[in-house]
Amino acid sequence: MAVKVHILSNGLRVVLYPESYRSAYMTLITRGGPRFENPEELGISHILEHLVVRNPDLNYAMESLGEGLYNAETDAEDVSYFISFPKRNVLKGTEIFARLWIAPVSPADFERERTVLGIEYAGLNHDSPEFALGNLWTRAAWLGHPLVLNDLLPWQENLSHLTLEQFSAFRRKINCGRNTVLAVVGDVPVQPFLEVLERTLGTVPEGELLPIQRSPVPDREGLTIVKQVGALEQVHCLLGFPLPRLRSAERRALEVLSLYLGDPNLFSSVLFRRVREELSLVYYIESGVEAFYDSGLFAVRWICPPANLETVFNVVLEEMMRVAREGISQEDFRRARRVYSLQKESELEEPFTISIALAEEMIRSGRVSNPNLGPRQARRARRSETIRFVHNYLNPQKAVLALYGPVEDLEPRILI
């Protein structure tokens, strides 16, 4: 099926991918998040995300149609809402969701949600090691870059200073036509669906697409290690490599490399086999990739006893350097590329995954690709690009290692 893009009268872009599912799956996304906030507004995207869907009566009406608002989230550079409805209720459900998204927010609701967010932040910053670890890494790795603001601690500190007037002004800025994309996966009745959107979401002001001020990746000489003591028995570790904006060939190479080294869904990944199965140093280890407007991230995460930290750290570096020195064997690379292509094929059976990908691609680049081309594009990954990628970007002297837990006396060294 072809992807089609329709534009409402206020510039809001609607991406339709008319695959046949029992329900319609939607992602509504705006440029937002801390990257687009002023210092005095830090955290305002998150409270906006909560407030524009805080209406028990409309949520009750949506859920009475089946499904409804599945989730919402604030990331470093966007705010997203995930919705689905059975096909027979998609018009009525979409209209209710749109009314929810544009409904006014009262001073009382603003204060109630501020209280709720304070509880959420306290829980995440003090009771969730992974959030604490991610924030610790962000503060060190992105220092001097706008992404440094993607840290819950300053959001929490600024929460009491936010005002309803700031919220209203920020909402007008980001929840406008040109700054919003709705991606829909499912066989919806196109003309009636667009008419529903025009009389609801089409009534918000046109506004402007928020511009991106591109920034270089922070330069560093030497491995950076940051630590935070936490009342835990094991150490939570994040070894991350901040990356510049990558070409398509480099992105494919990185995805295949990450799959080969530590895909969380593969018990056969190199790091899982070596660190867990052969050396018994960890229970969990995985690698992953993130992409931003002007940069990216390759990271390896694991949890281990303090005594195992230095060994695990050096085994991870050793496997990366082995790729740089010897490359991935032809057989292993072809297998990894084939699995990568098959994963892209499997994603075609995950309509929410498709809707998120379409929404993010449109809001970031202004264009969309046909999801059916994903497996074919994955097969275009080249072994030479993977080796070149490791040489160019995965230098241990440019990495940031964040450690959270019983870390007072830990000083891991590079031994390879």
- Distance CA(390)–CA(254), nearest Å, equals 9
User: Any bridge partners for residue 15, and if so which?
Assistant: 5, 183
Using an 8 Å Cβ cutoff, are 50 and 199 in contact? Answer: no
- Distance CA(129)–CA(231), nearest Å, equals 10
Burial of 217 per CB tally in 10 Å (0-12, 13-18, 19+):
buried
Using an 8 Å Cβ cutoff, are 313 and 401 in contact? Answer: yes
Strands 224-229 and 400-405 turn out to be: parallel
7 half-sphere exposure, CB direction, 13 A CA radius: 10
The domains of the chain are located at: 4-203, 224-405
Residues belonging to the chain: 416
DSSP letter at 67 equals S
What pLDDT is attached to residue 10? 98
Burial of 146 per CB tally in 10 Å (0-12, 13-18, 19+):
buried
What pLDDT is attached to residue 415? 87
- Distance CA(225)–CA(66), nearest Å, equals 48
Both tokens of residue 186? 């499912």
Both tokens of residue 66? 């089946």
Q: DSSP H helical segments within 40-189, as ranges?
A: 44-51, 56-63, 90-102, 107-127, 129-141, 152-158, 164-174
Both tokens of residue 294? 């002007």
Both tokens of residue 289? 């990739």
Give the closest residue to 404 by CA, choosing from 179, 192, 67, 130: 130
Decide whether 4-203 matches 224-405 in CATH topology: yes
Q: What is the pTM of this model?
A: 0.94
- 307-343 as b/e: b if 16+ CB within 10 A: ebbbbbbbbbbebbbebbeeebeeeebeebbebbbeb
Both tokens of residue 321? 């350097």
Give the closest residue to 116 by CA, choosing from 79, 159, 170, 56: 159
DSSP string computed for 310-354: HHHHHHHHHHHHHHHHH---HHHHHHHHHHHHHHHHHHTT-HHHH
- Distance CA(224)–CA(2), nearest Å, equals 46
385 CB-near residues (< 8 Å, 6+ apart): 249, 250, 252, 253
What pLDDT is attached to residue 369? 93
- Distance CA(17)–CA(177), nearest Å, equals 20
What pLDDT is attached to residue 20? 87
What pLDDT is attached to residue 14? 98
**Residue range 4-203, CATH number:** 3.30.830.10
What pLDDT is attached to residue 125? 66
| Cα distances (Å, whole numbers) of residue 300 to 27, 136, 185, 258, 284 | 28, 15, 32, 9, 11
Over the chain (416 residues), the average pLDDT of each successive run of 10 is 94 95 96 96 96 92 93 96 96 97 95 94 81 94 94 93 97 98 96 98 98 92 94 96 94 95 95 97 96 96 97 96 92 96 94 96 95 93 93 94 95 88
112 CB-near residues (< 8 Å, 6+ apart): 54
- The domain defined by 224-405 carries CATH number 3.30.830.10: yes
